[in-house]
A and B are shown apart, each in its own frame.
Chain A
Amino acid sequence: MKKTFWLFFWLVPFCLFAQQAEMDGYVKFFVHPNLNAPYPMDHLGTRLQLRLSSSLGERAAFYSALDFNYEAMQANPAFNGKRGQGLSVYPVETYIDLFFKYLDVRLGQQFIFWGKTDWINPTDNINPWDYVNISAEVEDYRLPVTAAKMNFYLGPVTLQSVWVPRFTANRIPLKLPDSMGGIPVKTLPTQLPENRLSNSELGLKADFSIYNIDYALSYYNGYDKNPTVRIRFDPQAHRFLRMIGYERYQVFGAAFVTTFDRWAVKGEGAYFLTKDRSGKDIDLQNPYIKYVIGFDYLPTSNLTMNFQFIQTVLLKFDKNFERLERQRLGMPLSTMPDQYTQSLSGRLQYRLGDFTDLQLISIYNFKDGDYFLLPILNYSLTDGINIYAGATLFAGSRHSPFGRNKKYSRAFAEIKYSF
């Protein structure tokens, strides 16, 4: 029924405004083999994406992108939600733009990305991540949200307001253990925020430039897209109970970027004001600051280098309290967070001739020495036909953030024809 609705919604303007409509898209064949023995196929299939854009006069426009997926094989369909096994229709984006003299409005299912740094953006909290589908295409690993976005152009300042009425969580390959220390764990149904007005999310951002430096100040009041997991011991049933839910927070952010010669210096930081303002609830995230500082450097026309330092600092953190509380509740000490975590990210992009583009994205965590690598080769067979090959590689010790995802390391190869 929902699919029919999307199709209908998508086709009506096409029929009404066919003269001004433009259709393009792509077809691709994809193979995503897992890189762990026995090397099961994570994905094998075909996708047709149709994009329709249409000017509705001078003051309005319509855009829609729909994926028609056929997945012949899928190792973890349970993780993939709407992108299901077999034939499925996935609405990527569908929105209407309204243009006024000092205001642009976008209504509908869309992507809204904030931030000025590369790949890691503390202020970018509107569209959830799909950690199951990290590949070469952003729309595969980010999930669209239904939102109303307004941009006000007030001379040198651009104000943006975003309203997201309905919560969407990050899609995480969460395989939680069935027991802890030999004691069974029962996971209760995930508690999602109810669909009501008071649970909607709001974002405000101001962009401006002063003396060749571009700045952004932002505020976001919404839900942490990552789940909060509470574990309690049930002495009567002699088991742990695991409760998964989502908590609201406020994010105050700032970002800048400037360029000189062959350099771009950029920074972005955010203060996350969580519900646990005093740091006295060990189940909830303490308030924290996350910032990224880094640079781009272009030594030649065909090479771009980006390096960034990332730090997260937990505020109101009391190590003794955290330990004692865990001991009191019978929780393993391995669940204790670190007050300071530091990482380094890098992106190298090299264009080899007219047809080949190589890119390597990497993130390294200092504490555990774990890392994530995303090498991507883009070879253009001819205009409009590209071959992508690469891998999402997680490595590190079993309990480290990337190491625990090792089993999701996979390669990908895609042939894409754009039309």
Chain B
Amino acid sequence: MKLPIKRMLIIFFLLVGMAQAQHLTGRQIMAKALNKTSWQDMVGQVKLILTNERGQQRIRKIKMFSRKRNANESDMLMRFVAPADVKGIAFLIIEHQNSDDDRYLYLPALRRVKRIASSGKGGNFMSSDFTYYDIGKPKLNDWTYKRLADEKINGFDCYKIECLPASPQVAKDTGYGKIIRWIRKDIWVTVRSEYYDRANRLWKILTVPKIENISGVWFQTDMIMKDVQNKHRSEMIFSDIKVNQNIPAQFFSKRYLQRGR
């Protein structure tokens, strides 16, 4: 049986590619996941569902705008749309790579923009089980990586990576002693994570029921974070996402934070 040269070359490169994938280190996989095609700016709606151990729910709707200033720094402006008692509250984060982020809160009831201290990267995002660290882009050098045996999640082949803090400061800042990540091989997106506290007890589990490709960018459009220690659960559902809308830099300012429209 003779195979045409072209087909043989394709098979050859596929085999080489597979062999390379097999030999990727944990760090290389994480680097690829962090450096996949992304957006320059994005706008979308977030539905945040908080559920406590008694099953009581709070549902918040947030309009979110974000822009990358450079590879490691972004700006984010969030405005509560619902429920009515928090409508109009807005939050601005100006991220800095080498210093603390600037955070401003606009409370319409107080008619003031207030600069607020951060509760650190490990602080809860909008009172949810997600921390600011969880929703941001991790820094590659903050962790050391160990590749574990590959596993399937929801039928998809995934790399399984163990991430350990590279320094005690990273552990302190994030509150995590270890993170295990499952990254889908085909699209380089994290589809499950397990977060361990600094005493190495399982703390939170992230699952991603929905991933969508929007304008060439893969988004985790439904994320569920379960705190297994206090039986609390937060779900973030994204909708109406638009990317690369050329949001002007001045939009991420105190002026627009309080304008409210």
Contact = CB atoms under 8 A, between A and B. Distances in A.
A355 B99 contact: no
Interface in A389-419: 416, 418-419
Given A113-B112, A151-B255, A355-B58, A261 B120 contact: yes
A353 B110 contact: no
A301 interface: yes
Contact of A158 (B103, B117, B255, B261): B255
Contacts of B60: 383
A300 B116 contact: no
A53 interface: yes
A254 interface: no
B255 A257 contact: no
Interface string B83-122: 1110100000000000110110000011110011111100
Contacts of B111: 111-113, 138
Contacts of A212: 99-100, 102
A218 B237 CA distance: 44
A116 interface: yes
Nearest to B104: A214
Contacts of A419: 84
B85 A380 contact: yes
B52 interface: yes
Interface in B175-218: none
Nearest to B99: A212
Contact of A153 (B100, B116, B118, B255): B255
Point out which of B56, B85, B124, B260 has the most chain A C-beta atoms below 10 A from its C-beta: B85
Interface residues of A, number: 46
A353 B52 contact: yes
A64 to B, nearest CB: 14
Contacts of A158: 254-255
Interface in B116-136: 116-120, 123-124, 127
Contacts of A355: 56, 58
A61 interface: yes
Interface string A71-105: 00000000000000000000000000101000010
Interface string A227-264: 00000000000000000000000000000011111111
A55 interface: yes
B115 A261 contact: no
B50 interface: yes
Interface in A348-392: 351, 353-355, 380, 383-386
B52 to A, nearest CB: 6
B120 A259 contact: no
B59 interface: yes
A26 interface: yes
A61 B103 contact: no
Interface in B34-72: 50, 52, 56, 58-60
Contacts of A416: 85
Nearest to A137: B109
Given A262-B119, A301-B123, A55 B261 contact: yes
A259 B102 contact: yes
Contacts of B110: 113, 138
A261 B83 contact: no
Contacts of B112: 113
Contacts of A29: none
A298 interface: yes
A311 to B, nearest CB: 23
A281 interface: no
B100 A380 contact: no
A296 interface: yes
Contacts of A26: 84-85
A262 B116 CA distance: 9
A301 B124 contact: yes
Contacts of A153: 250, 255
A297 B85 CA distance: 26
A383 B259 CA distance: 24
Interface string A24-48: 1010000000000000000000000
A150 to B, nearest CB: 13
A264 B103 CA distance: 11
A57 to B, nearest CB: 11
A137 B118 CA distance: 25
Contact of A383 (B52, B83, B127): B83
Contacts of A260: 100, 117
B84 A384 contact: yes
B132 to A, nearest CB: 10
B109 A259 contact: no
Nearest to B96: A212
Contact of A354 (B52, B85, B100, B117): B52
A384 B57 CA distance: 12
A262 B117 contact: yes
A97 B259 CA distance: 9
Contact of B115 (A53, A113, A257): A257
B174 to A, nearest CB: 13
Closest 10 CB pairs of A and B: A418-B84, A383-B83, A264-B117, A418-B85, A301-B124, A301-B119, A298-B119, A384-B83, A301-B123, A111-B111
19 contacts: A53-B260, A53-B261, A153-B250, A158-B255, A257-B115, A259-B100, A259-B102, A259-B103, A259-B115, A261-B117, A262-B117, A262-B118, A263-B117, A264-B116, A298-B117, A298-B123, A301-B123, A354-B50, A383-B83
Interface of B: 50, 52, 56, 58-60, 82-85, 87, 99-100, 102-103, 109-112, 115-120, 123-124, 127, 250, 254-255, 259-261
